Structure 1
Amino acid sequence: MSVAGTNDAAPAVAPPARRGGRTLLLNILALAAGLLIWDGAVRLGAVGLPTPVEVLRQAAASIESGQLLRDALASLARVLSGFLLGVALAIPVGFLMGWYPTARALIEPYVQFFRTIPPLAIIPLAIVTMGIGEVPKVFVIFLAAFLTSVVATFQGVVSVDRTLINAARVLGARDATIFRRVVIPASTPFIMVGVRIGLGSAWATVVAAELIAAQSGLGFRMQQGQLYYDLPVIFVSLITIGLLGLVMDRIVIAADRRLTAWQEKA
């Protein structure tokens, strides 16, 4: 007697190339729909915003004058400096906290304390103590990226299945080998999540820092647009920030897929 359903064909799984093409098509359709809704809402008078065409004209003028490139490079340099420094320090500190209880007891209170203080609240203090140059801007970005990444790394280490660690010890592996071959790979997905969140925090922080004290950058340009009620300038800066953040996030995702190729994902 056959069991019902045993002869049913398994659901077909689309190849990665086809899934990628479908995702890209959906992304394009979503973007087109968003632009149409935006343009329609403005033309009907529902919102007092510039039309997509007006924003596009402002973007073309800013690109032609070189202003948009200078502002984008200034903000990007600040974000990369603070973000990379924050992540580079957060990963070893997070491993230290997760692997050694003594280090956790000594470091965790400071991490949790500063996590309750928004990095934006540090900006006035940073400007007063470090001046209005690049150092305070990079510092607050560093702090935002560090606090996010260190917690994610720490959580990744403490979430490693103890069975894997015990099995490695039974097989005669030393702590250094266990850490390198078991703990680091198992906590990498957590680390990459922290890196992605830290990247978003870095962009949010640099824009706030440039709004307070800067002579260049996308946040500074948004402030100038606000002073003169130049909405297309504000929109161009906002869209540029979103595009730069999206590109950087996709780079992090690509690195995540490469580093966690062993993990099953949907």
Structure 2
Amino acid sequence: MAVITPPERTAVKTERQRAVRRSRRPLVLNVLALAAGVVVWAVVAALGLVENLPTPLAVLHKAGDMIADGTLATDTLASLRRVFLGYALGVVVAVPAGFLMGWYPTVRALVEPYIQFFRTVPPLALIPLAVVMMGIGEVPKIAVIWLASFMACVVSAFQGVIDADKTLINAARVLGASDRTIFAKVVVPASTPFILVGMRIGLGASWATVVAAELIGAQEGLGYRMQKASTWFEMDTIMVSVITIGVLGMLMDRLLLLAERRLTGWQERR
């Protein structure tokens, strides 16, 4: 049994302390950056450099009023429901589609023209078409969110498959592994980082799309609240909705980033 000497224990302890300091530094910088942003916002609003820009304190008071009367909770839950459904459906369909495109050249040749075509068409441009075809209910809103997340994820999954190390695939074949085993043990792990990056991009696209989708035929939601507030120049209400969307998107992105670190712990990082 190896014995750890006191100098080695000191070195290990010092390295752990350094690791803790390195992990805390980004968080401290994030807090400082947010505080600086709020200070700049307050100064700009106080000096009137941007017309009708409310102060942080006014936005905070408005947020308290919207929380008290339940408006913020209702709008947030409505937007979250739409984003979650559209985004989840997009990811569930995009990942198998990307795998099939990357693994089977025939499927790629049949599907890729449609993927490339719809990638060039912004989902926001399809909102009027979706409303005409599906009405003004929840279906068209979820459909355009689905398209936004699908396009981001399918390309990433496809790229992950075709970028899988061919040396590992050939080595597995030489050792007698079946295509199913190679796909499950080599291709899927190699594609995971690409898929998670696509999921993060798709999440941002989903939030951007839901705001635009709620401008048409919605009775609740953060996008709807912003559109209604703009009619009466209620800038504080608009700012509350914008900040809520940003905070929710950031929290969801952090959860995906945490999942990425856990699922790709084998990957070298800078």
User: 1:3 — aligned with what?
Assistant: none
Deviation >6 Å, runs of 4+:
none
Q: Does 1:254 align with 2:254?
A: no
Letter in 1 for 2:217: A
8 Å CA contact retained: 2:148, 2:206: yes
TM, length-normalised to structure 1: 0.94
User: 1:28 — aligned with what?
Assistant: 31
Secondary structure in structure 2 of the residue aligned to 1:212: coil
Measure the CA separation in 2 of the matches of 1:108 and 1:154. Answer: 10
Structure 2, unmatched stretches of 5+, are 1-14
User: 1:6 — aligned with what?
Assistant: none
Secondary structure in structure 2 of the residue aligned to 1:47: coil
Deviation digits for residues 16-73 of structure 1 (CA, Å, limit 9, x no counterpart): 4322322111111111100111111111221120000000000010001110000000
Q: Does 1:134 align with 2:138?
A: yes
Deviation digits for residues 79-124 of structure 1 (CA, Å, limit 9, x no counterpart): 0000000000000000000000000001111111111110001100
8 Å CA contact retained: 2:136, 2:216: no
Change over 3 Å in CA distance of 1:14–1:239 after alignment to 2: same
Deviation digits for residues 163-200 of structure 1 (CA, Å, limit 9, x no counterpart): 11011111111110000000000011000010000000
Q: Does 1:149 align with 2:153?
A: yes
User: 1:192 — aligned with what?
Assistant: 196
Change over 3 Å in CA distance of 1:14–1:149 after alignment to 2: farther
Q: Does 1:123 align with 2:127?
A: yes
TM, length-normalised to structure 2: 0.92
How far did 1:260 drift?
0.5
Letter in 2 for 1:192: L
Change over 3 Å in CA distance of 1:214–1:30 after alignment to 2: same
How far did 1:254 drift?
0.9
Q: Percent identity at matched positions?
A: 62
Letter in 2 for 1:85: L
Measure the CA separation in 2 of the matches of 1:66 and 1:21. Answer: 36
How many residues in Structure 1 have an aligned counterpart in Structure 2? Answer: 257
Q: Does 1:41 align with 2:44?
A: yes
How far did 1:14 drift?
6.3
Measure the CA separation in 2 of the matches of 1:212 and 1:28. Answer: 36
Letter in 1 for 2:198: G
User: 1:9 — aligned with what?
Assistant: none
Measure the CA separation in 2 of the matches of 1:155 and 1:170. Answer: 24
User: 1:7 — aligned with what?
Assistant: none
Letter in 2 for 1:100: Y
